[in-house]
Chains A and B, each alone.
Chain A
Amino acid sequence: MQLETSMHEDFLLVRPAQARIDAAAAIQFKEAMRRALAETGDRRRVVLDMTPVTFLDSSGLGALVAVMKLCAPDRQLELAGLTQPVARVFRLTRMDRVFTVHEEVPASPATRMHQHGG
């Protein structure tokens, strides 16, 4: 699972390079997020850009919950730009009330860029 990260003034932006966070990708996604969080400083807000993700199943949702727990208590995971199929999963499972969800990715110039393979 490839992730691109960029440091912004008050948040870390993480963007998955793959369109599917599903049962076949959930563990790799969680591990890539763990590495990205460990390597990318101490921004309190972590914003996950979900615009490339067009399919999320319950395993992918579980991975996002796991990443939220990885961030706590010092950092907060926020989601931005849910596509329709991803938003449906959040709405049905009522996890849209648990996660902070932004309609759009916050606009802010990046100060540094990284790529995380895996």
Chain B
Amino acid sequence: MRQRLASMPPCHLNGQHPPPAGQSRPLIRLRLVGETEAVRGALQRVSARLAADGVGQDAREVAELALAEAMNNIVEHAFADRPGLVALDIDRCAAGLCVTLRDNGRRMPRSTLPPGTLPACGTCTDDLPEGGFGWFLIHALARNLSYRRIGSCNRLHFLLPEDEGGNSAAG
């Protein structure tokens, strides 16, 4: 089921995104329906835009993975029982890429960020986890993670550092 942007509920998704603190410039403003195919398309557009803006390959790959996990989490959980819309804003600042994701779906459980723990691996093949890696990856790749429920809107914010090409997350 698809919703047109014009029929979006009043949730600030169309409104001006507040600029992050410090010096930064807007790089990407995307609005997409909360479906996995739309997420895939958005990721490919983001990757191309980042490349055009001179963001290095490691940082682009890290951004694509972190954004995939964050947006697919919204599709899977915030929009588990109804369709919805996602607003993705990326600003380039001195420290890296400032990401803000907003959606008009269900709030996070207990209105807090899920922890970034790895799922237990068990002791045999049958016990291996088939899910639960998403938030672990977001916590591993992003800095300054924050989540707020504002009215009927979820707002997730994080920073993707650009200068960590040699570390374990980006390398």
B126 touches A22 (CB 8 A): no
* Contact flag A68-B128 (CB < 8 Å), given A23-B75, A59-B72: yes
B61 & A65 in contact (Cβ 8 Å cutoff): no
| Complex contact A85–B65 (CB within 8 A) | yes
Q: Does B131 make an interface contact (CB < 8 A)?
A: yes
Shortest Cβ distance from B122 into chain A, in angstroms?
A: 10
A-side contacts of B64, CB under 8 Å:
55, 85
B53 within 8 A of A: no
Given known pairs A55-B64, A68-B125, the reply for A22 and B137 (CB within 8 Å) is no
Number of interface residues of A (CB under 8 A): 26
Complex interface: chain B residues within 8 A of A63 (CB):
130
- Check if B68 is an interface residue, CB within 8 A of chain A: yes
Say yes or no: B61 contacts A94, CB within 8 Å: no
Question: For residue B40, which residues in chain A have a CB less than 8 angstroms away from its CB?
Answer: 20, 22-24
Interface of A is mostly: helix
Is the beta-carbon distance between B133 and A58 smaller than 8 angstroms? yes
> Are B121 and A62 in contact (CB-based, < 8 A)?
no
- Chain B residue at minimum C-beta to C-beta distance from A57: B68
Give the size category of B's interface with A. Answer: 20 to 34
Of residues 42 to 81 in B, which have CB atoms within 8 Å of A's CB atoms? 43, 61-62, 64-65, 68-69, 72, 75-76
Within 8 A of B (CB), among A41-93: 55, 57-59, 61-63, 65-66, 68-69, 72-73, 84-85, 88-89, 91-93
- Across-interface contacts of A84 in B (CB, < 8 A): 61
- Contact of A58 with B134 in the complex, beta carbons under 8 Å: yes
Which of A59, A65, A66 has the largest count of B CB atoms less than 10 A from its CB? A59
CB of B116 to closest CB in A, whole Å: 11
Q: Which of B62, B126, B133 contacts A61 (CB 8 A)?
A: B133
Residue of B nearest to A72 (CB): B125
Contact A93 B118, CB 8 Å, known A20-B40, A22-B40, A68-B125: yes
Q: Which 10 A-B pairs have the closest CB atoms?
A: A58-B133, A24-B36, A62-B130, A23-B72, A23-B36, A58-B134, A57-B68, A85-B61, A72-B125, A65-B130
